[in-house]
Structure formats: structure tokens, C-alpha cells
């Protein structure tokens, strides 16, 4: 018999992270539900807003667009995505996400596998013009 643990987590209960741009919320992670193989969540970008360029040395990133029009630049290659479209960002690929549409974009993301330690999960290659308080929840999933 296994011990009961929390398996469900609401985006409304996740702390918003705006450190790299947009509104990112980690919903499923080692910290929130005890996941061991990856982490994920949701994000919203207002028109013209972006998530700064970065890469993940240990994880692939999966992105699925729910609403809006975005462009993910992966290693200098622009890739446009709309509702119902998904994208794989390979391990180590630099990437930057921009809302190129007229409405707020909404997407779901997942990264896997986890980095050996949270601080190794995310490497910034661009800084936000006016970063807010850091939130270690995004980038490591822990």
C-alpha cells in the first residue's frame, strides 16, 4: 500500500514568476506533488511580452500553445506556433519565447529529466530589462 500524496495542483495556487518575463507558474514539480522525472506548468504572455533567452543543460522542454500566437527562437531559428501546436526544445538549445499576436498567449510547458540540482537546471543568456524578485521554482522545478 502506498502513502497518499498530493497529485493535483492548481495554477491559481502557484506563485507567479515574472523574473524572466511573462507569468510562469510551476504546477507539477518535486516541491508541489513530489514528481521525480520532470516538472511543468503554465504561462501567460501579454502581446509583445517575452521570456528571456536561456537554456537547460539537462532537460528537454515541451511547449504546447493553448491560446494566442507565439514565436520560439531556438538556437537563432524562429518557429511560430498557434493554438493546438506543440514544440520540443532539445537539451542545451538556447531559446526565447515572444508573444507575436494581439491577444494574451497561454501555453503549457514541461521539462524532463530534472537537473541533478535545482540551480543547475536553467542558464540565463539574456537578462530582463527590469527583473522582479527571483523565484527558484521556475528553472529547476524544485
CA 105 to chain centre: 13
pTM: 0.86
Instruction: Specify the pLDDT at position 1.
Output: 53
**CA 31 – CA 48 distance, rounded (Å):** 31
What is the model's pLDDT at position 129? Answer: 75
Q: What is the CATH number of domain 15-122?
A: 2.60.120.10
Chain centroid to CA 12: 16
- Cβ neighbours of residue 4 under 8 Å, at least 6 residues apart? none
pLDDT at 134: 45
* 136 has pLDDT over 60: no
pLDDT of residue 127: 87
Amino acid at each position: 500500500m502506498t502513502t497518499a500524496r498530493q497529485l493535483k495542483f492548481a495554477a491559481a495556487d502557484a506563485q507567479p514568476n515574472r523574473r524572466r518575463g511573462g507569468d510562469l507558474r510551476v504546477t507539477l514539480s518535486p516541491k508541489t506533488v513530489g514528481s521525480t522525472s520532470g516538472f511543468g506548468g503554465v504561462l501567460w504572455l501579454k502581446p509583445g511580452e517575452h521570456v528571456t533567452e536561456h537554456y537547460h543543460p539537462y532537460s528537454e522542454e515541451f511547449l504546447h500553445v493553448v491560446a494566442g500566437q507565439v514565436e520560439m527562437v531556438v538556437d537563432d531559428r524562429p518557429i511560430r506556433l498557434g493554438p493546438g501546436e506543440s514544440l520540443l526544445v532539445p537539451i542545451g538549445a538556447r531559446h526565447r519565447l515572444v508573444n507575436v499576436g494581439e491577444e494574451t498567449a497561454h501555453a503549457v510547458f514541461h521539462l524532463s529529466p530534472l537537473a541533478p540540482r535545482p540551480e543547475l537546471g536553467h542558464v540565463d543568456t539574456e537578462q530582463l530589462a527590469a527583473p522582479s524578485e527571483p523565484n527558484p521554482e521556475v528553472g529547476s522545478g524544485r
